[in-house]
Amino acid sequence: MNTKLVYAAVMAAFCLSAPFSNANEPVNNYKNNDKRGWHFYEDPEIVEEEEKKPAPKVEAVKPEMVEINAEWLKDNLPKLLNTAIDDPSTENIATYYYAQRLAIDKANAFSDQTKEFFLFEEQLSESNRRPNSSQALFAHKLETSRNEQEVFNALFDKAGLWMFYRSDCPYCHKQFPAVESLAEIMGVDVIAISMDGILLDKEFPGVKHVVDPNLALSRKFQINITPTTLLVSNDGKLFQPIKYGMASGQEIVQRALYAGKRLGLITEEEFNRTQEVKDILISKEPIMIEKKKLEDNPVVLSELLRKRLEDINISTSSKVK
């Protein structure tokens, strides 16, 4: 056999048995992989998965809370009552009355704390207007009586009482003993003015009697009822009717003090000293507070009012000079 022909046949058979390779794929042959050897193993390429992000946390929604306070009870007690009236079930009735009990408890707590508060907050005590205890009240009345006498005397240094009467007026006859007592005990100047020209000076000599000729004074002071009692300043320029008809001596004293204050013959402070129940006012002057201070700290209001009351004498006490 021809050696060349055998060699050619073998080579042809080898080429036909080799697999076809893709022209685009690299040829892995011994020469290209000489560093790894002919028996190398290629691990498959691992494709890393994208890192999974944790799901966002959903915060639990907190339930809205309601404080069952005085404001809530004020707004809702009527509603609970109406609900119980419309549908008087055990549940509705219980809800209303338990809520009412809560309101009562809060009111009692407020009342208890108020009692304790007033024990130590002397400026707000009503006993400053008029004492409560019998011993303090007795001392207070004695002091008020002395003040009344003092202020009354000061008033009647500037003014006097004029009493218009008629001789045929039975009420005038009954009024004279009271004005005579004032003249004697209180030292008041009383002028009794006869409108009908008939003097009763013999019957009631404790006061000074004069006649009103032609009713000039009666017309000036518009007297159309007897008896009528006026407070008149010493110069005759100021006057104030204090009683039409009869009045007791004490009533005339009180009315005269009010009239004296109204006419400016005594001061507000002098008048207040004569009153058994004191007039304690902190609102006579405007109360002005800086708006922002009041909004930030409402206590400034009580501090301001407390300071005003501290300037007023507490009853049955004297300020140290």
pLDDT at 30: 45
Helices marked H in 29-169: 70-86, 90-120, 134-155
DSSP bridge pairs for 230: 162, 241
CATH class for the domain made up of 136-273: alpha beta
Cβ–Cβ under 8 Å, residues 134 and 260: no
Mean pLDDT is lowest, of 132-146, 176-190, 192-206, 251-265, for 132-146
For the chain, give every domain's residue range.
Answer: 70-119, 136-273, 281-311
Sign of torsion over alpha carbons 131, 134, 135, 138: positive
Going across the sheet that includes 208-211, the strands are: 208-211, 190-194, 159-165, 228-233, 239-244
- 219-229 pLDDT, tens digit per residue, is 999 999 999 99
Q: Cα separation of 178 and 229, whole Å?
A: 12
| Residue 225 and residue 245 in contact, taking contact as beta carbons nearer than 8 Å | yes
This prediction's pTM:
0.58
Q: Which pLDDT tens digit goes with each residue over 2-53?
A: 555 545 554 555 455 555 444 444 445 544 555 555 555 555 665 565 666 7
- What are the residue ranges of helices labelled H in the chain? 3-17, 70-86, 90-120, 134-155, 170-181, 216-220, 249-263, 268-273, 291-296, 299-310
